[in-house]
Structure 1
Amino acid sequence: MIEAVKIWNEPNNKSHWDPDVDPEWLLFADMVRRAGSAIGRAAPGLTRVLGGMSPIDPSFLARLERAGALDMVDAVAVHGFPLDWNLWAIDEWPAKIAEIRAATDKPVWVTEVGVSSFGSEEVQAWGVTKTAGLLKGQAPRVHWYSLYDLPMEWGATTRHKEAEGSSYYRHFHMGLLRADGSPKPAVEAFRALDGQMGICQWFHYHDPRLDDAVRWLKELGVTKLRTGLSWADSFRDGATDWFDRQMEALADFDTTITFCFTPEHRGIQPHHSSAPQVADEYAEFCQAMVERYVRPEQRAAA
Structure 2
Amino acid sequence: MIEAAMVWNEPNNTSHWDFGVDPGWRIFAEMARAAGDAIHAEAPGVQRVLGGISPIDARFIAHMKGLGVLDSMDVVAVHGFPLDWNLWSIEDWPQRLAAVQAVTELPVWVTEVGISTFAGDAVQAEGLTRTAEVLRGRADRVHWYSLFDLPGQWEATTRHKQREGSSYFRHFHMGLVREDGTPKPAMDVFARHADELGICQWFHYEDHRLDDAVRWLKKLGVKKLRTGLSWSDDDRPSSLAWFDRQMRALEEFDVTVTFCFTPEHRGMVPHYTSPPKDIGEFVDFCARMVRRYGR
Q: TM-score, normalised by structure 1?
A: 0.96
Q: How does 1:127-166 map to 2 (within 5 A)?
A: 127-166=127-166
Name the residue aligned to 2:46. 46
Name the amino acid aligned to 1:230. S
* Cα distance, 1:44 vs structure 2: 1.2
- CA distance, structure 1, for counterparts of residue 217 and residue 119 of structure 2: 25
Name the amino acid aligned to 1:84. D
* Cα distance, 1:30 vs structure 2: 0.2
Name the residue aligned to 1:281. 281
Name the residue aligned to 2:102. 102
Comparing 63-72 and 271-280, the one that deviates more: 63-72
- CA distance, structure 1, for counterparts of residue 64 and residue 21 of structure 2: 16
Comparing 165-174 and 63-72, the one that deviates more: 63-72
* Cα distance, 1:10 vs structure 2: 0.1
Name the residue aligned to 1:205. 205
- Following TM superposition, the consecutive aligned residue runs of length 4 or more in structure 1 with deviations greater than 4 angstroms are none
Q: Deviations along 1:203-260, whole A, 9 cap, x unmatched?
A: 0000000001000001011000000000010111100000000000000000000000
Would the aligned equivalents of 1:82 and 1:88 in 2 still touch at CA under 8 Å? Answer: yes
Q: Deviations along 1:52-76, whole A, 9 cap, x unmatched?
A: 0100001111111111111100010
- CA distance, structure 1, for counterparts of residue 235 and residue 177 of structure 2: 31
C-alpha root-mean-square deviation of aligned residues, in Å?
0.8
Alignment identity in percent?
62
SS for the counterpart of 2:20 is coil
Name the amino acid aligned to 1:97. L
Would the aligned equivalents of 2:3 and 2:45 in 1 still touch at CA under 8 Å? Answer: no
Matched, 1:262 2:265: no
- CA distance, structure 2, for counterparts of residue 273 and residue 217 of structure 1: 30
- CA distance, structure 2, for counterparts of residue 105 and residue 164 of structure 1: 35
Would the aligned equivalents of 1:268 and 1:274 in 2 still touch at CA under 8 Å? Answer: yes
- CA distance, structure 2, for counterparts of residue 141 and residue 169 of structure 1: 28
Q: Deviations along 1:65-120, whole A, 9 cap, x unmatched?
A: 11111110001000000000001111011111111000101100000000000001
- CA distance, structure 2, for counterparts of residue 206 and residue 287 of structure 1: 22
- CA distance, structure 2, for counterparts of residue 102 and residue 247 of structure 1: 35
Name the residue aligned to 2:126. 126
SS for the counterpart of 2:96 is helix
SS for the counterpart of 1:91 is helix
- CA distance, structure 2, for counterparts of residue 181 and residue 94 of structure 1: 34
Q: Deviations along 1:247-279, whole A, 9 cap, x unmatched?
A: 000000000000000000000001000000011
- CA distance, structure 2, for counterparts of residue 84 and residue 156 of structure 1: 15
- CA distance, structure 2, for counterparts of residue 12 and residue 188 of structure 1: 34
Runs of at least 5 residues in structure 1 that lack an aligned partner in the other structure? none
Matched, 1:192 2:192: yes
Would the aligned equivalents of 2:82 and 2:90 in 1 still touch at CA under 8 Å? Answer: yes
* Cα distance, 1:194 vs structure 2: 3.7
SS for the counterpart of 1:168 is helix
Name the residue aligned to 1:11. 11
- CA distance, structure 1, for counterparts of residue 18 and residue 113 of structure 2: 23
Name the residue aligned to 2:62. 62
Would the aligned equivalents of 1:121 and 1:185 in 2 still touch at CA under 8 Å? Answer: yes
Runs of at least 5 residues in structure 2 that lack an aligned partner in the other structure? none
* Cα distance, 1:32 vs structure 2: 0.3
- CA distance, structure 2, for counterparts of residue 254 and residue 44 of structure 1: 16
Would the aligned equivalents of 1:18 and 1:274 in 2 still touch at CA under 8 Å? Answer: yes
Name the amino acid aligned to 1:92. D
Q: Deviations along 1:159-187, whole A, 9 cap, x unmatched?
A: 12143111111000000001121100010
Matched, 1:253 2:227: no
Name the amino acid aligned to 2:41. R
Matched, 1:82 2:54: no
Would the aligned equivalents of 1:162 and 1:169 in 2 still touch at CA under 8 Å? Answer: no
SS for the counterpart of 2:199 is strand
- CA distance, structure 2, for counterparts of residue 18 and residue 152 of structure 1: 26
- CA distance, structure 2, for counterparts of residue 195 and residue 138 of structure 1: 15
- CA distance, structure 2, for counterparts of residue 256 and residue 194 of structure 1: 17
SS for the counterpart of 2:53 is coil
How many correspondences in the alignment? 295
Matched, 1:235 2:235: yes
Q: TM-score, normalised by structure 2?
A: 0.99
Would the aligned equivalents of 1:125 and 1:189 in 2 still touch at CA under 8 Å? Answer: yes
* Cα distance, 1:45 vs structure 2: 3.0
